[in-house]
Chain A
Amino acid sequence: MDRRTAIQNLALVIGGAVLLPRCSKSNPSAHFKHFDITFDQQTLITDIAEVIIPKTNTPGATDLNLYGFVMKMVDECTKKKDQEAFLKGMAEFEDVPKKMFSKPFAECNKKEKEDVLKSFEKKDNSYSKELQAFYQTVKGLTVFGYTESKYFMTKEIVYELVPGRYNAWYPVKNGKAVAKNG
């Protein structure tokens, strides 16, 4: 093991790559089973997830470590072809804030970040297939990770491991779903 790898591994061990000093794009900061990504890219995905599911008076994507879930799913549950599209799309992503606001996503304010992501929600956008795939993957997995999180299932809705009963007609209270059916 060379020294650089050793330091990287150590950094991962002591609490995640976010502790690493900022490194260049040619210097991968997070190793997954099937690819590496840079520190900037980690930050990008974390930021996108937080814009989709922001911290309000309840926890957001960062609080719930949805970044970790998104990357686990991309790494382990996604076809190689789709991983490649994801990585290619991710590499293209910074062009969007640059074109819209002449700065990288990380330097955009909250409103600007939202505008960047909303541009993907427009049906007639002209983004490449890969760029679209990247955004939709991050969004889909962020939402999936959120609605399958312990926080969501126990605090936002009701999840009982052993319901013990079937109530065929149950009032909806406060506009909230009362139960997860899965």
Chain B
Amino acid sequence: MSTNTYDAIVIGSGISGGWAAKELTQKGLKTIMLERGRNIEHVKDYVNANKAPWEFEHRGGRTQKMIHDYPVLKRDYPLNETNLDYWVDEKESPYVEVKRFDWFRGYHVGGRSLMWGRQSYRWHDTDFEANLKDGIGTDWPIRYKDLEQWYTYVEGFAGISGNKDNVPILPNGNFMPPMEMNCVEKDVAERFNKFYKEHNRYMIIGRTANITKPLPGRTNCQYRNKCWLGCPFGAYFSTQSSTLPAAVATGNLTVRPWSIVTKILYDKDTKKAKGVEVLDAETNKTYEYYAKIVFVNASALNSAWVLMNSATDIWPDGLGSSSGELGHNLMDHHLGVGAGGVIEGYEDKYYFGRRANGIYIPRFRNLNGEKRDYIRGFGYQGGGGRDEWGRSIPEMSIGGAFKDALSEPGQWTFGMGGFGETLPYHENRAYLDKDKKDKWGLPVLAIDATCKDNELKMRIDMANDAKEMLEAAGVKNVHTFTSEPVLGRGIHEMGTARMGRDPKTSVLNEWNQVWDAKNVFVTDGAAMASTACQNPSLTYMALTARAANHAVEELKKGNI
């Protein structure tokens, strides 16, 4: 056996890549995980994780140099000095925006599992059936029953804290004890849940991949709210804290950082992949790695990029393009719309500890026979908190009394923002722009996607419903907020190699296998046939574990 030959190759090391590596190695497959960026070692390389706020030169802000160097990342909250190293160098790895698309990438071992939002919600059959019922896109080839045991499995290993709220639209999970609402959130939620009892609207504590009980090698959440710096306690799920150590423990895993997979090597005689070609990002040398199966987990857009660059001698638009859907149907969650206001009273109350979680309101629109002027729906994330310093009193705007007031707790506030389902549109797509090259001379992606009528109409409800519900729950001076309907900023890219029932209209089958190469599995956001409105990563984990199990069974049977 050549040293470049393995049983399995996993492209990418983020949430789904880490899961693929864990499952395959635990089932005994010698596996190589290829990561295009540098290594980040758990704990040791979380260089800012133990800094106090005053130890950051600009107190966590952004410099003009950072704004200049990160023209995309600057568009939203991720650009700041506390974890700049976790975001892609935009000069080295450009892309083309035919229309504005905020693409926030992490090119390193662990990928965006280090910086993700950690909210973890199961899907419901309503979500899997939606495309079929609406006659939109392609029908999901699976239903909730196909994924249920895999949700239970990945929740148990990853560690999801949450409450069994018995919300009909949002299945309960295999939870660790929930985090607690603060005193104001408890009262707001109680009023909300009483008011909307007959309307199937619920305010619940967020379900998050922060553990509330220890797991092997991991300490329960310490309420630091510094997850995005990397957690020295391993208290939130990431590749580094969770799947990678499990995969390494099998003795079957090789991790190769600085490995840009340029193409999947397709064998037209066997109609299967035989391996991948890798460009070493440090030396610019090219290598080939061979394996019986290939898992593509490079994140939705980059997984599509790898496929588009592969087997072009047979399919000019790449491996998986025979349906004409590869790179198409690009989706995200549209957000940046909601409402907030103030809470009167509770002056003698506060809370202690920094909880990296909030409240959640599951989808309630277009259910139980309701028909709005748009289809699908949205959920809300938010929470209540107390402002950090004194009210602004004009006559006390400077001086000693002003200084003293700064250490007094301020007003209680409550706010929330919507996460809206985005429909699959064939014309929302990414494709190779061969005229523009990255640092390594590789063609870059051009992205051409927008929110359309359904999303825009939904956003009106997202603002108005938030206001109406907060007012019903006793929040005062409620104002709505809205923002430009931009895709990408949800950082939930999906759909570029969708699953389906028919090779003519989808890229992947019901087991995440590329129709045109059955030993190639795509199990990240690319596989999604629709977005629902729940945060998607938990579903990628479940899809990956399910597909890995199937892959090994098929290998054993000699089918692939």
**Which A residues contact B (CB, under 8 angstroms)?**
51-54, 56, 58, 60, 72-73, 76-80, 114, 117-118, 121, 139, 143-150, 152-153, 156-159, 161-172, 175-182
Q: How many A-B residue pairs have CB under 8 A?
A: 147
Q: 5 tightest A-B contacts by CB?
A: A166-B353, A163-B353, A167-B352, A156-B407, A169-B183
Please measure, in the bound complex, the distance between the C-alpha atom of A152 and the C-alpha atom of B59, giving whole angstroms. Answer: 13
Q: Could you pull out 25 A-B pairs where Cβ atoms are within 8 angstroms?
A: A51-B399, A53-B402, A77-B61, A79-B64, A121-B397, A121-B398, A139-B398, A143-B406, A144-B59, A145-B59, A146-B406, A147-B406, A150-B54, A162-B222, A163-B223, A163-B354, A164-B223, A165-B223, A165-B353, A167-B353, A168-B181, A169-B183, A170-B351, A176-B407, A177-B410
Can you name the residue of chain B whose Cβ is closest to the Cβ of A79? B64
Please measure, in the bound complex, the distance between the C-alpha atom of A166 and the C-alpha atom of B59, giving whole angstroms. Answer: 24
**Cβ of B389 under 8 Å from chain A:** yes
Whole-angstrom distance between the Cβ of B422 and the nearest chain A Cβ? 31
Q: Is the CB of B182 within 8 A of A76?
A: no
**Cβ of B143 under 8 Å from chain A:** no
Q: Is the CB of B406 within 8 A of A163?
A: no
**Cβ of B213 under 8 Å from chain A:** no
Q: Is the CB of B352 within 8 A of A172?
A: no
Q: Which residues of B contact A170 (CB under 8 A)?
A: 349-352
**Which B residues contact A (CB, under 8 angstroms)?**
50, 52-54, 57-65, 179-183, 185-186, 222-225, 347-355, 385-386, 388-389, 394, 397-400, 402-404, 406-410
Can you name the residue of chain A whose Cβ is closest to the Cβ of B404? A56
Q: Is the CB of B348 within 8 A of A114?
A: no
Q: Is the CB of B354 within 8 A of A169?
A: no
Please measure, in the bound complex, the distance between the C-alpha atom of A113 and the C-alpha atom of B183, giving whole angstroms. Answer: 43
Whole-angstrom distance between the Cβ of A80 and the nearest chain B Cβ? 8
Can you name the residue of chain A whose Cβ is closest to the Cβ of B356? A166
Q: Which residues of A contact B181 (CB under 8 A)?
A: 168
Q: Is the CB of B349 within 8 A of A171?
A: yes
Please measure, in the bound complex, the distance between the C-alpha atom of A77 and the C-alpha atom of B57, giving whole angstroms. Answer: 11
Q: Is the CB of A181 within 8 A of B388?
A: yes
Please measure, in the bound complex, the distance between the C-alpha atom of A137 and the C-alpha atom of B398, giving whole angstroms. Answer: 14
Q: Which residues of B contact A182 (CB under 8 A)?
A: 53, 60, 225, 354, 388
Can you name the residue of chain B whose Cβ is closest to the Cβ of A76? B63
Q: Which residues of A contact B388 (CB under 8 A)?
A: 147, 177, 180-182
